[in-house]
């Protein structure tokens, strides 16, 4: 029997090991998101649905400041993604009035049950409750003037799939509103440059940015400006180079 040289055996073993590790690389990800790049950042655990007390947030006029910056007007259609117990949902519903609507979306069914009971109790006839997936808010296409992501984006483990799936829900001239804290992503925040990069990689452009003490962080606003890229064409962002638009 002819034995292959030892060096060839070593190379074959390395190749086999590489194939095996590559095959296992995405086993921790849902199959539907594997076409998208993996996020190069840690993710905060899902926090309590109540960020802080509503009275405390109103004392700082948080919702009013954000809604004013976002230009919320009567008759608008709004999605409150990661609505939790509904601090923004009910205030948005009051602002858009009976001719507008607010869709409150969350992945926590218990939070949605509590919010649904509140909506019914306080008779917000312009609010709809909507469950979604962690990587897909499952919003109807061409439906919203504004999509709110308040103190929740840092909990999104698959940001490229999430933003790619969210984007078609915007109407023409619609905006995505992010309120978050300038902290590392494993400390319930996200550095602004990393946020800008992840949005840009899916075809969004930053249109407004404000640091406000009322928000316990910052306000960022985005619009869709380029064609939505194919998932495999998305260039992932890296924290070390997050000041760039996307990784080269």
* pLDDT tens, the chain, 248 aa long: 455 555 444 444 444 444 443 444 688 899 999 999 999 998 877 655 455 578 888 888 999 999 999 999 999 999 999 999 999 999 999 999 999 999 999 999 999 999 999 999 999 999 999 999 999 999 999 999 999 999 999 999 999 999 999 999 999 999 999 999 999 998 889 999 999 999 999 999 999 999 998 888 999 999 999 999 999 999 999 875 454 444 44
3-state secondary structure of 157: coil
| Residues linked to residue 206 through DSSP beta bridges, in sequence order | 222
Two tokens, residue 14: 């390395």
- Please tell me the predicted confidence (pLDDT) of residue 162: 98
Two tokens, residue 48: 């309590």
Two tokens, residue 202: 């899916």
CB 160 within 8 A of CB 132: no
Distances in whole angstroms, Cα of residue 185 to Cα of each of 30, 163, 194: 21, 17, 10
3-state secondary structure of 171: strand
The DSSP string of 184-231 is -TTTT---HHHHHHHHHTTTEEEEEEEEEGGGTEEEEEEEE-SPPPPG
- Please tell me the predicted confidence (pLDDT) of residue 210: 97
């Amino acid at each position: 029997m002819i034995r292959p040289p030892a060096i060839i055996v070593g190379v074959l073993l390395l190749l086999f090991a590489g194939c095996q590790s590559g095959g296992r690389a995405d086993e921790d990800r849902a199959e539907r998101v594997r076409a998208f790049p993996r996020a190069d950042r840690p993710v905060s655990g899902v926090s309590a649905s109540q960020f802080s007390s509503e009275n405390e947030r109103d004392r700082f006029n948080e919702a009013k400041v954000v809604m004013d910056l976002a230009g919320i007007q009567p008759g608008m259609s709004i999605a409150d993604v990661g609505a939790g117990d509904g601090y923004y949902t009910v205030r948005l519903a009051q602002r858009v009035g009976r001719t507008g609507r607010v869709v409150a979306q969350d992945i926590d069914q218990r939070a949605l049950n509590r919010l649904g009971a509140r909506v019914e109790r306080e008779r917000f006839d312009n609010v709809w409750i909507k469950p979604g997936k962690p990587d897909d808010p499952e919003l109807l296409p061409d439906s919203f003037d504004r999509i709110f992501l308040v103190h929740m984006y840092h909990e999104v483990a698959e940001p490229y799939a999430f933003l790619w799936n969210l984007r078609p829900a915007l109407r023409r001239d619609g905006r995505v509103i992010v309120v978050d804290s300038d902290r590392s992503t494993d400390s319930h925040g996200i550095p602004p440059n990393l946020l800008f990069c992840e949005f840009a990689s899916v075809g969004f452009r930053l249109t407004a940015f404000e640091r406000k003490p009322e928000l316990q962080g910052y306000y960022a606003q985005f619009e869709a400006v380029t064609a939505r890229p194919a998932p495999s064409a998305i260039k992932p962002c890296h924290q070390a180079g997050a000041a760039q638009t996307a990784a080269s």
